[in-house]
Amino acid sequence: MEYLYPIITGFLIGIVGSFHCIGMCGPLALAMPIHHMTTPQKQLSVFNYSIGRMGGYMIIGLIFGIVGMSFSLLKLQQVLSITAGIAMVAFVIFHYYYKRSVTFDTPLTDKIKSFLSKQLNSKPAPNAFVWIGLANGFLPCGLVYTGIIPAVATGSILKSTLLMMGFGMGTIPTMSVMMYAGRYLSPSIRKQLKFWTPVLFILIGMLLIIRGLNLGIPYLSPSISDSKITCCGNG
């Protein structure tokens, strides 16, 4: 069960954050060149795209898991969890309520955007969607940042990777619907679906803060002492 908690946590964040995808990543999903394909080809393309994107998130989780492990080795689990919680709340307020985008454009992201642009203007084979999904997973995105913060807080490379895998799995249903039928969702419906996203993310941030306070409450705020804290309730 120890390694199931990160997957569940990431999955829930992905599900909640999927509403964000409708407004932000939705246009990319809508632009996917699959509408000329047969139904089996569409299904295979969407599946490959989802697998590729999840793979990208897992690589990100592995990288940031190294950062979290460094804090864990220094016995700074409490500081890590509280800082991660504050960072998530601050990010959500800054990004969703003050409408300020947080992006980190680099020469690499420019190349990724160029690659995606070429793919979206062509008719790639279903197998090529693995690479399209992988590239998309590395694009700067507010939703990904909200997954990275609790992933770092796990203090473990493996748990961070698993959390981001669960995160990717959680985004699959909404992104698949967007690729198939997103054009039929009205702007008003998209707005309603996004309404609760920042609220739920703030609650997750608050839970990370409470967990780091070492209150001795099982699962919610377990006693840290000699054990390692995780964002998934496994003290």
Give the pLDDT of residue 52. Answer: 94
User: Region 201-219: what's the mean pLDDT?
Assistant: 81
Q: Is the pLDDT reported for residue 205 higher than 90?
A: no
Distance CA 34, CA 133 (A): 13
Q: What is the pLDDT of residues 48-65, one digit of tens each?
A: 999 999 999 999 999 999
Contact yes or no for 201/146 (Cβ under 8 A): yes
Give the pLDDT of residue 166. Answer: 94
Q: What is the pLDDT of residues 175-188, one digit of tens each?
A: 877 776 655 566 66
Q: Count of alpha carbons within 13 Å of 150, Cβ hemisphere only?
A: 35
Give the pLDDT of residue 100. Answer: 62
- Kindly report the backbone phi and psi dihedral angles of residue 221, in degrees, each rounded to the nearest multiple of 5, phi listed first: -145, 70
* % of the chain with per-residue pLDDT over 70: 76
Q: What is the pLDDT of residues 78-93, one digit of tens each?
A: 888 888 889 888 888 8
Q: Which two tokens stand for residue 15?
A: 């599900």
Instruction: Say which DSSP state 233 is in.
Output: S
Distance CA 65, CA 50 (A): 22
Contact yes or no for 199/43 (Cβ under 8 A): no
Q: What is the pLDDT of residues 148-180, one digit of tens each?
A: 888 998 889 999 999 999 999 998 888 877 776
Name residue 54's amino acid: M
The pLDDT mean for the chain works out to 79
What contacts 104, CB < 8 A, 6 or more positions away? 140
User: Could you give the dihedral angle defined by the CA atoms of residues 105, 106, 107 and 113, in that order, rounded to the nearest 10 degrees?
Assistant: -30
Dihedral of alpha carbons 55, 61, 63, 65, sign: negative
- In the structure, what pLDDT confidence band is assigned to residue 226 with cuts at 50, 70 and 90? very low
Residue of higher predicted confidence among 173 and 227? 173
